[in-house]
Chains A and B, each alone.
Chain A
Amino acid sequence: MKVSTGWLTDYISLEGVTAEELADKITTAGIEIDGVERRNKGLSGIVTGYVKSKEKHPDADKLNVCIVDAGQGEDLQIVCGAKNVAAGQKVPVALVGAKLPGLEIKKAKLRGVLSQGMICSAKELGLNDKLLPKELQEGILVLPENTEVGQDITKVLGLNDEILEFDLTPNRSDCLSMIGAAYEVSAILGRDLNLPDPAAELVEAGGTAADSISVKIEDEAFCSHYAVRYISGVKPAPSPLWIQNRLMAAGVRPINNIVDITNYVMLEYGQPLHAFDGDQVEGGTLGVRFAREGEVLTTLDGQERKLEPQMLVIADGVKAVGLAGVMGGLATEVTGETVNIVLESAKFDGGTVRKTSRQLGLRSEASLRFEKQVDPKAVIPALNRAAALIARYADGTVHEGIVQAGSDAVPDKILTLSLEKLNNYLGTELSLLEVKTLFGRLRFKCGDAAQGVVEVQVPSRRGDISYDVDLIEEIARLYGYDNIPTTLIEGVTTPGALTRKQSVRRELRRMLALGGYQEVMGYSFIQPEQSKLFPAFSEGSLPVKLAMPMSEERSVLRTSLLPQLLDIALYNTNRRQSDLALFEIGNVFFTDEEQLTRQPRELPVLGLLLSGSRTAKQWNMTAEPVDFFDLKGALESVFAYLGLTGRVVYEGDAPQDYHPGRSASIYLLAEDGRTRIGTMGQLHPELQRKLDLEDTYVAELLLQPLYDSARISLQYSELQRFPGMERDIAVVVDSAVPAGNLLTSIRENGGTLLQNVQVFDVYTGGKMESGKKSVAISLLYRHTEHTLTDEEVSEVHEKVVAALQQTFGAELRK
């Protein structure tokens, strides 16, 4: 809402307060002022003039030589290039020495002809010329014929004015009007208000309005009050300049006196009004009803609108003539030929107006106000005010009486406020007197306090106030938040802490970061195609789609973190950053329902990606490419860190989208079986080629099982006091036998003496028989209570070896 300080002074004195100071005070008290605009952009020496004659320039086709009376004693000769300049016009004239934005006027010769000044366009005067008719945008500004010559243009155009841009929060629709703004400023400054009294200004004459028009409301739930006045004999013409100036200052386009006055009063009272051409209203009646099936209406903007039955319309005896609260119809528009008008002021339901306006993609100053609730008590004053102005500035005769249906009767809103609650709520120590004074400034009537409780009557214009805490806010903002003390919470202290899950997640993040992995963050929305990749967790479920995505690219909730990790890898590889170790922790989503009726499953997941070289090429290091075991090592470190070593097994079962020979599923062992908690391995070469990536290794782990089973309390175990005994063996087995199976067998048979098993060599090819491999394993035996003897170790060790021979047909290499 653009609020002119000049206009404000109609209602309240702003003496001694600059526009900037006022803006600061209003902002501090609750309505942010987005900016202060000075309408005078630095004009001086510009006056009104009369074009006495216009001749063609002797040497220039496009120039005219004008003789202008600018009230300077002598007529001025001014060369003007505007197409629309003509003798008989009143125009703004910049005299020699005048200042305009970025321009100073000097005496000049134009193609040999003396020019003693300049006739100005609206743009040159710093006006928003988009609000002017096209011919005035392209040429000079033409002023009304009755303009006096020699007047300072800044006065004539009302330019010595500042505009405050009110950035209103949705609750403060009361300030979508000059009077509302005046109430606010009056509360802030504590100054008196001087408001118009429309009923007193209005003179009724002619016949009875009800003889010319009748109204009715079909359902008062959607329009509680519909009131009209009948005005005859109007003379449409341009409005007086002061009305035009104020409309332009508010950003509203001047059209003619009738329309301008309805807009002016809307700005003044916040109550949208509409004028119908009375002679185009058929059947002498207007009604508020819902649109009929298949009904169409051509609105004022010339668009034909297909109406739907939930849209509220104004209809005469035959047809729809307007979209209630949104826009009038073209058929009943006020034109230059209009003689009689029906002036409407009504209270339409905000929700209905909003739906209609959204559905048609049609927003107006009126719909904006109705949506945010207008003051029900403004309907009649605004109607009277507009009628009085039309009588005065458009020569209309206002017929006797208001014709109306419904009413503006609303119950008085009386809230009770306890002084104790107010002070407890804010942490203040305000007295009853202070509180009543503040309510007085707001013009909220206060009753006498009984037992510290005040009854406050909330004016109808403040529809946003419904609870005692709303009153507390009014007091707080006027009292000033700076004046509220700064205290600390009293009462029980509470220990702050992270949950187990949050602690484990943080540790994981820290550990991976210190281990060389960079955390990244993707979007939760992916392409539908991507949701088909890496289905290990989502298998058998469906992806979740957005109802109205912003793009196909981001239309499905991610079912895996890996597709985006791959995108990130590609992005960086394309920018010569190809040695990547990435991780992300985030949620994946999927559902079991064909038609979503409840929240989908949302699982926290850890994703890892490795590609490029393990170490950068350097004088003492070669750039070795990462491989499967770099990634596996990282996972093993994670499991070891969480105390899960020995509870995790890897199975080379070729999960989808992985290289079938270089990938595994990861299982967490538990008492009652095992669960798949992840997948890992090299990206499938086909997919890798399709995505244009180098060798890339990825892994994905479900985090909930890790949160649940991570070891979070550490326990000391006794130091080993007796030396261990190491035995190395090398066994030849079929290549297909997984080393992990050998180790499991060794652990099972090694009993409590076996402390550690380590594969230290794997050998194939060369002298090895084809289809066979040699696996060298180091075993460490130790007893906690005594030094082991050879015999003791051999007894166990032989059992271990025998098991390998029996189970895997292993041959012992000597």
Chain B
Amino acid sequence: MKEKLEALKVEALAKLQEVTDPQVLNDLRVKYLGKKGELTEVLRGMGGLSAEERPVIGQVANLVRSAIEEIISTKQEAFQQQETLGRLQAEKVDVTLPGRSLPQGGIHPLNRVVQEIEDIFIGMGYKVAEGPEVETDYYNFEALNLPKDHPARDMQDSFYLTDDLLMRTQTSPVQVRTMQAMNGEVPVKIICPGKVYRRDDDDATHSFQFHQIEGLVIGSNIRMSDLKGTLNQFVKEMFGPSTGIRLRPSFFPFTEPSVEVDVSCFKCGGDGCRLCKQSGWLEILGAGMVHPNVLRMGGYDPEKYSGFAFGMGVERIAMLKYGIDDIRYFYTNDMGFVKQFKGI
């Protein structure tokens, strides 16, 4: 009987070794190990064995069984692996085909720039103030030290609705309104972004509608040197840490002294390039110390308080920053244009 078992083992192992088909493997498992399988058949004869032989043969039979089981399970695993491999092969996709994208919208480039500037000044402790686009003559001009017969107040240059109402030509009226609302309290630290309107013929650098951001600080000891420091910090955050500013004397009715502020060209670093017209400097801001008449009309005693103000054109900054050469693109809203301004 032992020999029978050994022979069975040899035969089974040899056959199993050669199996290449999972179905055949299963058939062989049934053939050898099944309820009516050959091993079972052999073991049935164990009843005729003596009490001494039985455990010995039983042990042999178990060894044979486990040898066969082992090879079957090894084979099964191999087949399974193969099958998995085959399935994965079949599931392969062309990774170069395009995916389903998320919808892509975007924020208008001018608002992107406004938000960026707002954030810089918020970080410096400013609040954002806003006001109406239709203004009274008083807030748009008179309270800003432009009396009635001032040449800058020509009907030709502004969009009037009536003798007294006009589309604001600057966001400065918001400064006056804020000062009056503050009721003489200090400090005032605001920036005022918004649309403004001037009667200009549209061309590549002029638009009758455009955006300004103005800033106003009033306190008990605000100095021209603080204005320099503030704008210096702003341009570094806006245009890069290596940029700096230059102040040139200028004239605005609402500030005294008044200056034009140039930022060193962030493209060429000041060496001169097309962007800065070889000058190394870009003119981006007007600024100055708030005129005593403006302080007074805003409810502040110019002998006790001082302040500075600055203003910039959003379109101009966006054009410089993004390298845009025609202001009209901002209001044409060609998807090819506005959709370019996404990302960081």
Beyond A513-B105, A518-B339, whether A469 also contacts B134 by CB under 8 A is: no
* B143 nearest CB across to chain A (Å): 15
In the complex, A28 Cα to B259 Cα: how many Å?
A: 10
Q: Are B98 and A502 in contact (CB under 8 A)?
A: no
Beyond A473-B256, A485-B228, A619-B97, whether A519 also contacts B223 by CB under 8 A is: no
Select A521's contact among B187, B258, B330, beta carbons within 8 Å.
B330
Residues of B near A583 (CB, < 8 A) are 105
Q: Are A544 and B195 in contact (CB under 8 A)?
A: no
Beyond A469-B256, A497-B122, whether A27 also contacts B224 by CB under 8 A is: no
Any chain A CB within 8 A of the CB of B208? yes
Q: Are A572 and B306 in contact (CB under 8 A)?
A: no
Residues of A near B155 (CB, < 8 A) are 548
Select B108's contact among A169, A170, A519, beta carbons within 8 Å.
A519
In the complex, A484 Cα to B289 Cα: how many Å?
A: 14
Question: Looking at the complex, which of B20-28, B39-47, B214-222 is the stretch in contact with chain A?
Answer: B214-222
Any chain B CB within 8 A of the CB of A122? no
Select A499's contact among B128, B165, B167, B217, beta carbons within 8 Å.
B128
Interface centre among A351, A487, A557 (most CB of B within 10 A): A487
Residues of A near B289 (CB, < 8 A) are 425, 469, 472
Residues of B near A371 (CB, < 8 A) are 151
Q: Are A424 and B223 in contact (CB under 8 A)?
A: yes
Residues of A near B115 (CB, < 8 A) are 506
Residues of B near A498 (CB, < 8 A) are 118, 122, 128
Beyond A544-B134, A596-B161, whether A425 also contacts B108 by CB under 8 A is: no
In the complex, A499 Cα to B187 Cα: how many Å?
A: 18
Question: Looking at the complex, which of A189-197, A374-382, A388-396, A474-482 is the stretch in contact with chain B?
Answer: A474-482
Residues of B near A600 (CB, < 8 A) are 134, 161
Q: Which of B192-234 contact A (CB under 8 A)?
A: 195, 197, 199, 201, 208-209, 217, 219-226, 228-230, 232-233
* B3 nearest CB across to chain A (Å): 65
For the complex, count residues of B whose C-beta is within 8 A of A.
84
Q: Which of A495-515 contact B (CB under 8 A)?
A: 495-499, 502, 506, 509-510, 512-515
* B125 nearest CB across to chain A (Å): 4
* B248 nearest CB across to chain A (Å): 7
Beyond A351-B149, A516-B104, whether A493 also contacts B334 by CB under 8 A is: no
* B32 nearest CB across to chain A (Å): 50
In the complex, A518 Cα to B110 Cα: how many Å?
A: 13
Any chain B CB within 8 A of the CB of A491? yes
Beyond A519-B105, A523-B209, whether A602 also contacts B125 by CB under 8 A is: no
Q: Are B306 and A425 in contact (CB under 8 A)?
A: yes
Any chain A CB within 8 A of the CB of B38? no
Q: Are A487 and B225 in contact (CB under 8 A)?
A: yes
By beta carbon, the residue of chain B nearest A596 is: B162
Residues of B near A522 (CB, < 8 A) are 331, 333
* A668 nearest CB across to chain B (Å): 23
Q: What 1/0 mask marks residues of chain B from 136 to 175 whose CB sits below 8 Å from any chain A CB?
A: 1000000000000101101100011110010100000000
Beyond A172-B251, A426-B225, A545-B161, whether A488 also contacts B100 by CB under 8 A is: no
Q: Are B135 and A548 in contact (CB under 8 A)?
A: no
* A12 nearest CB across to chain B (Å): 21
Q: Which of A565-584 contact B (CB under 8 A)?
A: 568, 571-572, 575, 577, 580-583
Any chain A CB within 8 A of the CB of B250? yes
Any chain A CB within 8 A of the CB of B335? yes
Any chain B CB within 8 A of the CB of A348? no
Any chain A CB within 8 A of the CB of B13? no
Q: Are B209 and A524 in contact (CB under 8 A)?
A: yes
Q: Are A469 and B291 in contact (CB under 8 A)?
A: yes
Q: Are A491 and B338 in contact (CB under 8 A)?
A: no
Interface of B is mostly: mixed
Beyond A487-B228, A496-B126, A519-B338, whether A426 also contacts B223 by CB under 8 A is: yes
Residues of A near B118 (CB, < 8 A) are 498
In the complex, A572 Cα to B159 Cα: how many Å?
A: 29
* A412 nearest CB across to chain B (Å): 22
Select B228's contact among A351, A486, A512, A524, beta carbons within 8 Å.
A486
By beta carbon, the residue of chain B nearest A464 is: B251
Q: Are B161 and A427 in contact (CB under 8 A)?
A: no
By beta carbon, the residue of chain A nearest B195 is: A524
In the complex, A494 Cα to B107 Cα: how many Å?
A: 29
Any chain A CB within 8 A of the CB of B49? no
In the complex, A577 Cα to B105 Cα: how many Å?
A: 14
* B111 nearest CB across to chain A (Å): 6
* B64 nearest CB across to chain A (Å): 54
Q: Which of A375-432 contact B (CB under 8 A)?
A: 424-428
Q: Are A496 and B108 in contact (CB under 8 A)?
A: no
Any chain A CB within 8 A of the CB of B292? yes
Interface centre among B118, B126, B134, B162 (most CB of A within 10 A): B134
* B131 nearest CB across to chain A (Å): 10
Residues of B near A619 (CB, < 8 A) are 97-98
Select A496's contact among B103, B124, B151, beta carbons within 8 Å.
B124
Any chain A CB within 8 A of the CB of B9? no
* A350 nearest CB across to chain B (Å): 8
Any chain B CB within 8 A of the CB of A546? yes
* B335 nearest CB across to chain A (Å): 4
By beta carbon, the residue of chain B nearest A465 is: B256
In the complex, A517 Cα to B105 Cα: how many Å?
A: 4
In the complex, A597 Cα to B159 Cα: how many Å?
A: 16
Residues of A near B123 (CB, < 8 A) are 496
Select B220's contact among A491, A580, A587, A589, beta carbons within 8 Å.
A491
Residues of A near B256 (CB, < 8 A) are 467, 469-470, 472-473
Q: Are A550 and B199 in contact (CB under 8 A)?
A: yes
Any chain B CB within 8 A of the CB of A30? yes
In the complex, A570 Cα to B98 Cα: how many Å?
A: 29
In the complex, A487 Cα to B222 Cα: how many Å?
A: 10
Q: Are B230 and A489 in contact (CB under 8 A)?
A: yes
Q: What 1/0 mask marks residues of chain A from 579 to 604 whose CB sits below 8 Å from any chain B CB?
A: 01111000101000001111110100
Residues of B near A557 (CB, < 8 A) are 134
* A521 nearest CB across to chain B (Å): 5
Select B331's contact among A27, A513, A521, A548, beta carbons within 8 Å.
A521
Q: Are B338 and A481 in contact (CB under 8 A)?
A: no
Q: Are B122 and A572 in contact (CB under 8 A)?
A: no
Q: Are A491 and B221 in contact (CB under 8 A)?
A: yes
Beyond A524-B195, A547-B161, A572-B334, whether A28 also contacts B103 by CB under 8 A is: no
Q: Are A491 and B219 in contact (CB under 8 A)?
A: yes
Residues of A near B65 (CB, < 8 A) are none
* B222 nearest CB across to chain A (Å): 7
Any chain B CB within 8 A of the CB of A29? yes
Residues of B near A514 (CB, < 8 A) are 105
Q: Are A469 and B292 in contact (CB under 8 A)?
A: yes
In the complex, A544 Cα to B335 Cα: how many Å?
A: 30
By beta carbon, the residue of chain A nearest B211 is: A521
Q: What 1/0 mask marks residues of chain A from 436 to 469 whose CB sits below 8 Å from any chain B CB?
A: 0000000000000000000000000000000101
Residues of B near A596 (CB, < 8 A) are 161-162, 165
Any chain B CB within 8 A of the CB of A303? no
Q: Are B334 and A581 in contact (CB under 8 A)?
A: no
In the complex, A509 Cα to B118 Cα: how many Å?
A: 15
In the complex, A312 Cα to B321 Cα: how many Å?
A: 51
Beyond A516-B105, A524-B133, A571-B332, whether A487 also contacts B226 by CB under 8 A is: yes
Q: Which of A22-51 contact B (CB under 8 A)?
A: 27-32
* A485 nearest CB across to chain B (Å): 5
Instruction: Enumerate 7 A-B pairs (CB-CB under 8 Å) in ascending A order.
Output: A354-B149, A428-B225, A490-B226, A509-B111, A512-B105, A524-B133, A619-B98
Known: A172-B251, A581-B103. 10 other contacts (CB 8 A): A354-B149, A425-B223, A470-B256, A509-B107, A516-B102, A518-B106, A548-B160, A554-B208, A568-B333, A602-B134
Which B residues are closer than 8 A to A by beta carbons?
97-98, 100, 102-108, 110-111, 115, 118, 121-128, 130, 132-136, 149, 151-152, 154-155, 159-162, 165, 167, 187, 189, 195, 197, 199, 201, 208-209, 217, 219-226, 228-230, 232-233, 246-251, 256-259, 289, 291-292, 306, 330-336, 338-339
